[in-house]
Amino acid sequence: MVLSFLFEQAPAASGNLVVASSQQASLLGGLLPADEGDNARILTNADSAAYDKVAERLGIETDYNENKSLLATVASWLGTPYRYGSSSKSGTDCSGFVTRVFKEVYGLTLQRSSRSMFGTVKRVDKDEMQTGDLVFFRRGPGQPIYHVGIYLKDNKFAHAATNGGVMVSSLRQAYYSRNFYAAGRVDR
């Protein structure tokens, strides 16, 4: 293969091709992971452009190893109006948004309220959050959890806000920084 010099063979047990270096990868802008594992494949420029377009809509910079299905699904919900107690693209609340995305992407049925979701996740430190983890908010010590969102990366998360519907916000914004309570990982 003409491009074989750009790749090195992964350990014999896996037999998968991997990018030899980030410098070499930059020569092929269409390289994206095939899935969440160690497999890699060459994708078309159209695939790469679609990935970049989704990342741009979400306001994140991607390194092409995020869950592409999760990002595309979240992006498809952007702009959905807020509607308490609902979970459809005609209107949703925060937990409705999260439950629908997890059902669509992972085939998992989550608890319907943010408080109930919190009881079923594995807590993770804020500095160890990964794309797809849940972020929970409360209004002060001893107060109940009132809001949930899906962590994207770089301190950004997607959620359904009462004042704007499904959107991407930053954990660095004063309101979310002040009310952030914890992050949790769902077994997937």
Q: Is residue 70 among the annotated active site residues?
A: no
Q: Which candidate in 43, 94, 101, 129 is catalytic?
A: 94
Q: Is residue 94 among the annotated active site residues?
A: yes
Q: Are 99 and 112 in contact (CB under 8 A)?
A: yes
Q: Is residue 76 among the annotated active site residues?
A: no
Q: Which candidate in 159, 166, 169, 176 is catalytic?
A: 159
* 175 closest CA partner among 133, 134, 138: 138
* 131 closest CA partner among 68, 59, 51, 48: 68
Q: Which candidate in 68, 138, 147, 153 is catalytic?
A: 147
Residue 118 Rama label (left phi>0; alpha psi -120 to 50; beta): alpha
Catalytic residue list = 94, 147, 159
